[in-house]
Amino acid sequence: MNGVVADTSPFNYLLQTGCVDVLPRLFSRVLIPPEVAAELADPGAPEAVRGWMSAPPAWLEIRAPERRLALPADPGEVAALSLAVELGVTEVLLDDRLGRELARGLGLRPVGTLRVLELAGERGLLDLPAVLERLRATRFRIHPDLIADLLRRWDERRR
Protein backbone atom coordinates (compact mmCIF):
# COMPACT_ATOMS: atom_id res chain seq x y z
CA MET A 1 0.00 0.00 0.00
CA ASN A 2 0.94 3.64 -0.47
CA GLY A 3 1.44 6.23 2.15
CA VAL A 4 -1.55 7.34 4.17
CA VAL A 5 -2.73 10.53 5.81
CA ALA A 6 -4.64 10.02 9.06
CA ASP A 7 -7.33 11.85 10.95
CA THR A 8 -7.59 11.71 14.74
CA SER A 9 -10.14 8.95 15.31
CA PRO A 10 -8.25 5.99 13.78
CA PHE A 11 -5.02 6.99 15.54
CA ASN A 12 -6.88 7.38 18.81
CA TYR A 13 -8.40 3.90 18.67
CA LEU A 14 -5.30 2.19 17.30
CA LEU A 15 -3.36 3.68 20.22
CA GLN A 16 -5.98 2.67 22.78
CA THR A 17 -5.96 -0.92 21.52
CA GLY A 18 -2.16 -1.11 21.37
CA CYS A 19 -2.16 -1.55 17.59
CA VAL A 20 -0.76 1.72 16.23
CA ASP A 21 2.51 0.04 15.29
CA VAL A 22 0.76 -1.83 12.47
CA LEU A 23 0.52 1.42 10.52
CA PRO A 24 4.12 1.58 9.27
CA ARG A 25 3.88 -2.11 8.39
CA LEU A 26 0.78 -1.52 6.26
CA PHE A 27 1.67 1.83 4.70
CA SER A 28 4.94 3.12 3.25
CA ARG A 29 4.44 6.54 4.91
CA VAL A 30 2.18 7.68 7.72
CA LEU A 31 1.38 11.38 7.89
CA ILE A 32 -0.81 13.53 10.09
CA PRO A 33 -1.37 17.28 9.95
CA PRO A 34 -0.54 19.42 13.03
CA GLU A 35 -4.27 19.75 13.81
CA VAL A 36 -4.50 15.99 14.28
CA ALA A 37 -1.32 15.95 16.37
CA ALA A 38 -2.83 18.66 18.58
CA GLU A 39 -6.08 16.71 19.01
CA LEU A 40 -4.14 13.58 19.99
CA ALA A 41 -2.07 15.58 22.52
CA ASP A 42 -5.09 17.44 23.92
CA PRO A 43 -5.59 17.16 27.72
CA GLY A 44 -9.02 15.63 27.02
CA ALA A 45 -7.52 12.74 25.02
CA PRO A 46 -6.99 9.40 26.75
CA GLU A 47 -3.75 9.24 28.73
CA ALA A 48 -2.24 6.52 26.51
CA VAL A 49 -2.86 8.68 23.45
CA ARG A 50 -1.40 11.83 25.02
CA GLY A 51 1.62 9.92 26.28
CA TRP A 52 2.35 8.45 22.87
CA MET A 53 2.07 11.85 21.21
CA SER A 54 4.52 13.35 23.68
CA ALA A 55 7.26 11.33 21.95
CA PRO A 56 5.95 10.13 18.57
CA PRO A 57 7.98 7.52 16.69
CA ALA A 58 10.24 8.36 13.77
CA TRP A 59 7.85 6.70 11.30
CA LEU A 60 5.15 9.31 11.97
CA GLU A 61 5.47 12.42 9.83
CA ILE A 62 3.67 15.56 11.00
CA ARG A 63 3.18 17.88 8.06
CA ALA A 64 0.93 20.84 7.41
CA PRO A 65 -0.81 21.27 4.06
CA GLU A 66 0.17 24.42 2.21
CA ARG A 67 -3.47 25.16 1.41
CA ARG A 68 -6.64 24.14 3.16
CA LEU A 69 -9.62 22.97 1.14
CA ALA A 70 -12.93 24.68 1.89
CA LEU A 71 -14.82 21.70 3.32
CA PRO A 72 -17.69 21.40 5.82
CA ALA A 73 -15.73 19.29 8.32
CA ASP A 74 -13.78 19.69 11.53
CA PRO A 75 -10.28 21.23 11.30
CA GLY A 76 -8.46 17.89 11.65
CA GLU A 77 -10.42 16.28 8.83
CA VAL A 78 -10.04 19.34 6.60
CA ALA A 79 -6.27 19.38 7.20
CA ALA A 80 -5.95 15.62 6.62
CA LEU A 81 -7.96 15.73 3.40
CA SER A 82 -6.10 18.83 2.22
CA LEU A 83 -2.74 17.18 2.90
CA ALA A 84 -3.73 13.98 1.10
CA VAL A 85 -4.89 15.89 -1.99
CA GLU A 86 -1.78 18.08 -1.95
CA LEU A 87 0.63 15.13 -1.70
CA GLY A 88 -1.27 12.84 -4.06
CA VAL A 89 -1.82 10.27 -1.30
CA THR A 90 -4.86 8.22 -2.25
CA GLU A 91 -5.75 6.69 1.13
CA VAL A 92 -6.94 8.57 4.19
CA LEU A 93 -7.60 7.07 7.61
CA LEU A 94 -11.05 8.35 8.62
CA ASP A 95 -13.90 6.99 10.69
CA ASP A 96 -16.36 9.90 10.53
CA ARG A 97 -19.13 9.39 7.98
CA LEU A 98 -19.00 12.96 6.64
CA GLY A 99 -15.21 12.82 6.34
CA ARG A 100 -15.44 9.55 4.44
CA GLU A 101 -18.00 11.03 2.03
CA LEU A 102 -15.84 14.11 1.50
CA ALA A 103 -12.81 11.90 0.86
CA ARG A 104 -14.66 9.91 -1.78
CA GLY A 105 -15.81 13.15 -3.39
CA LEU A 106 -12.16 14.20 -3.66
CA GLY A 107 -11.20 10.91 -5.31
CA LEU A 108 -9.57 9.57 -2.14
CA ARG A 109 -10.05 6.16 -0.59
CA PRO A 110 -11.19 6.36 3.04
CA VAL A 111 -9.92 3.57 5.29
CA GLY A 112 -11.49 3.19 8.73
CA THR A 113 -10.15 1.80 11.97
CA LEU A 114 -11.86 -1.56 11.43
CA ARG A 115 -10.35 -1.94 7.96
CA VAL A 116 -6.87 -1.19 9.31
CA LEU A 117 -7.36 -3.86 11.97
CA GLU A 118 -8.69 -6.33 9.40
CA LEU A 119 -5.72 -5.73 7.08
CA ALA A 120 -3.30 -6.16 9.97
CA GLY A 121 -5.07 -9.36 11.00
CA GLU A 122 -4.91 -10.71 7.44
CA ARG A 123 -1.14 -10.15 7.47
CA GLY A 124 -0.71 -11.86 10.81
CA LEU A 125 0.24 -8.65 12.60
CA LEU A 126 -2.38 -9.02 15.34
CA ASP A 127 -5.03 -11.28 16.84
CA LEU A 128 -8.17 -9.64 15.48
CA PRO A 129 -10.74 -11.07 17.96
CA ALA A 130 -8.58 -9.98 20.92
CA VAL A 131 -8.10 -6.50 19.47
CA LEU A 132 -11.82 -6.14 18.80
CA GLU A 133 -12.48 -6.94 22.47
CA ARG A 134 -10.09 -4.15 23.45
CA LEU A 135 -11.79 -1.85 20.94
CA ARG A 136 -15.19 -2.58 22.51
CA ALA A 137 -13.79 -1.32 25.84
CA THR A 138 -13.22 2.12 24.28
CA ARG A 139 -15.74 4.72 23.14
CA PHE A 140 -15.56 3.42 19.55
CA ARG A 141 -19.07 3.46 18.11
CA ILE A 142 -19.95 0.88 15.52
CA HIS A 143 -22.98 -1.24 14.80
CA PRO A 144 -22.56 -4.72 16.32
CA ASP A 145 -23.42 -6.30 12.95
CA LEU A 146 -20.23 -4.81 11.45
CA ILE A 147 -18.12 -6.40 14.17
CA ALA A 148 -19.95 -9.70 13.66
CA ASP A 149 -19.29 -9.55 9.88
CA LEU A 150 -15.62 -8.80 10.49
CA LEU A 151 -15.29 -11.74 12.88
CA ARG A 152 -17.15 -14.01 10.43
CA ARG A 153 -14.69 -13.08 7.65
CA TRP A 154 -11.81 -13.63 10.08
CA ASP A 155 -13.09 -17.11 10.95
CA GLU A 156 -13.59 -17.99 7.27
CA ARG A 157 -9.99 -17.00 6.47
CA ARG A 158 -8.68 -19.02 9.39
CA ARG A 159 -10.31 -22.28 8.13
Query: Residue 91: helix, strand or coil by DSSP?
Result: strand
CATH value of 4-113 in 3.40.50.1010, 3.10.580.10, 1.20.1300.10, 3.40.120.10: 3.40.50.1010
pLDDT at 1 over 70: no
Q: What is the Cα–Cα distance from 1 to 4, expressed in whole angstroms? A: 9
Instruction: Parse the chain into domains and list their residue ranges.
Output: 4-113, 115-158
- 93 — phi, psi (to 5°)? -80, 110
Question: Tens digit of pLDDT for each residue in 94-149?
Answer: 999 999 999 999 999 999 999 999 999 999 999 999 999 999 899 888 878 888 88
Query: Residue 110: helix, strand or coil by DSSP?
Result: strand
Average pLDDT over residues 24-35: 96
Query: Which residues fall within 8 angstroms of residue 3, CB to CB, at 6 or more apart?
Result: 27, 28, 29, 30, 31, 87, 89, 91
What confidence tier does 153 reach under pLDDT thresholds 50, 70, 90?
confident
Answer yes or no: pTM beyond 0.75: yes
